[in-house]
Amino acid sequence: MEARFREGDAMRRANPETAAVQSPRRANRPFISFALVPAYGHVYPVIPLAEAVRQAGARVQIAVGRPFHDTLPLPTVLGSDLDPITTDVPDLTRARFPTVVDDVPARWVAAFFGVMHALPAVTALRRAWQHDRPDLVVYDPANPGAAVVADELGIPSMLFSVFHYFPPMLELPRVTRRALDEPDVQPWEPLPDGRHPSRPYIDPVPSALQLGPIAEHDDVIPIRTVAWDDPAAAPIVPTRRDRERPLVYVTLGTVVGTPELLRDVIVEAARFGDVIASIGPSVSRARLGDLPGNVSVHRLVQAHTVMATADLVVHHGGMGTTLAAAAHAVPQLLLPQVGDQFANAQAVTRAAIGRALIGAREAGAISAALAALERDRQVRDSADAVARTIAAAPGPAQVARELINRAGHGQPRRRP
């Protein structure tokens, strides 16, 4: 591990002359790079916009780490030197910053995203963008290294929201910059006076589900939620089912869905209705054991077909699933486990488009909550209203034109 961070120290002393690197301006064809954290919930929501940008005539690149590098239907470049298959970033975070465990709520975001994820991204993105400089960078708030490198090279940058509006996430580029310049400072220490640059903020979250003070941001670009599906995902067109029973879609995403938790949720949902379950890429079907006959299990499913078919959704509270269900007006039951999933549960219950079960559950709690959701007319009316709001937002094609316009006229930004 010491060797790993000696390498990181060398990276921190990178040549400041990289700020002067330029690439030839591409007449009438700007180059836009989408710099993403290599996780399903951070990559898939951005792909429809990236595809729309390419269709509108721009050159597009996805800067992303493994396992998404070289596996997407768009050109990619390695956007992080971390390999999530062989590297446990939470363990690295606790090893480098042992006192993070003394106050996880206040310290984890800065240490985990602002340093441990960010520094390998800085290394990779400096390497990529020095030689092939984008005209605009679009990054997600959990990837502050992209903002740091964009600022070094004088590239305009903007955020694509994959969380609720959360001001501490917007400060992460300053945390990363300080980690490069002053590596001995703990990442959660107060930052010097001064605000982060007010970068444009692309936001798919409808007003009914907003939790943060987004009205204070001076450049918000709304976008309609459009699901993107992995080509390997199964289309869901159920043909053999009891039409008298509700159809329940169950997913716990790709991070928190352990075999034991998945099995418990699936079995209980199957007592209430027929179940389509997506178990993700890391859970083996065999580890779920025998399941009721009214359960259909898939590794990945096409979100738009399952949401168009399902009567109810049970899920972990990831932003992608939350917005996909909301866009299709499907009442949802959230079982949040970590991070922003609790914020999404709060937003869903406050907007009255679903319910949440948090913490330990009594036997039968899931089936009882599903029964209550099915007969709750207010939930269905609220879900319909939120879905109409989402449908009225600008689609990816419209936002793509805005991005291309900004890429063509953007000005270099100062380093935070």
DSSP string, 209-260: G--S-GGG-S-EEE--------TTSBP----SS-TTSPEEEEE-TTTS--HH
How many residues belong to the chain?
Answer: 416
CA dist 19 and 104 (Å) reads: 35
Is pLDDT at 411 greater than 50 in this prediction?
no
CB atoms within 10 A of CB 99: 11
pLDDT at 373 over 90: yes
Which pLDDT score, from 0 to 100, does residue 127 have?
96
> Which residue in the block uniquely carries the two structure tokens 């605000």?
195
Q: What is the Cα–Cα distance from 205 to 217, expressed in whole angstroms? A: 14
Tokens at residue 278, please?
């997506």
Amino acid 345: pLDDT: 95
Least confident piece of the model among 42-56, 57-71, 401-415: 401-415
The arithmetic mean of pLDDT across residues 316-327, rounded, is 93
What tokens does 20 get? 């002067």
CB 139 within 8 A of CB 119: no
* Residue 10 pLDDT exceeds 50: no
Q: 3-state DSSP call for residue 116?
A: helix
Reported as a single tens digit per residue, the pLDDT across 66-76 is: 888 888 999 99
**How far separated are the first and last CA of the chain, in Å rounded?**
29
Does residue 284 surpass a pLDDT of 90? no
Nearby residues of 177 by Cβ (< 8 Å), 6 or more positions away: 148, 415, 416
Confidence category of residue 239, pLDDT binned at 50, 70, 90 = low
CA 77, 82, 83, 89 dihedral sign is negative
**For the chain, what is the mean pLDDT?**
86
pLDDT at residue 23, rounded to an integer = 43
Would the CATH topology of 2-24+31-224+394-409 be identical to that of 247-392?
yes
Average pLDDT on 128-142 reads: 96
Q: How confident is the model at residue 257 (pLDDT cuts 50, 70, 90)?
A: low
* Residue-range domain boundaries for the chain: 2-24+31-224+394-409, 247-392
Query: The pTM is what?
Result: 0.85
Cα–Cα distance between 80 and 150 in angstroms, integer? Answer: 15
- Token readout for 190 is 């107060």
pLDDT for position 256: 67
Band the pLDDT of 16: cuts 50, 70, 90: very low
Tell me, what amino acid is at 125? L
In sequence order, which residues have a C-beta less than 8 Å from that of residue 67 and are 6 or more positions away?
Answer: 38, 84, 85
- Indicate the burial class of 142 (C-beta count within 10 angstroms; 0-12, 13-18, 19 or more): buried
- What is the distance between the alpha carbons of residues 189 and 206, in angstroms, rounded to a whole number? 33
pLDDT at 9: 39
Residue 330: both structure tokens together: 């499907």
* pLDDT score, position 303: 83
Task: Please report which residue ranges of 282-351 form alpha helices under DSSP H.
Answer: 303-309, 319-327, 341-350
- Nearest Cα residue to 224 out of 201, 208, 241, 203: 203
pLDDT for position 24 = 43
* Beta-strand pair 31-35/332-334: unpaired
Which range has the worst mean pLDDT, 13-27, 54-68, 185-199, 256-270?
A: 13-27
Taking residues 32-48, what's their average pLDDT? 93
Residue 333 and residue 366 in contact, taking contact as beta carbons nearer than 8 Å: yes
Check if the beta carbon of residue 135 is closer than 8 Å to that of residue 33.
Answer: no
Three-class SS state of 293: coil
* CATH placement of domain 247-392: 3.40.50.2000
Residue 204 φ/ψ region, left for φ over 0, alpha for ψ in the -120 to 50 degree band, beta for the rest = alpha
- Which CATH fold would you assign to the domain 2-24+31-224+394-409? Rossmann fold (3.40.50)
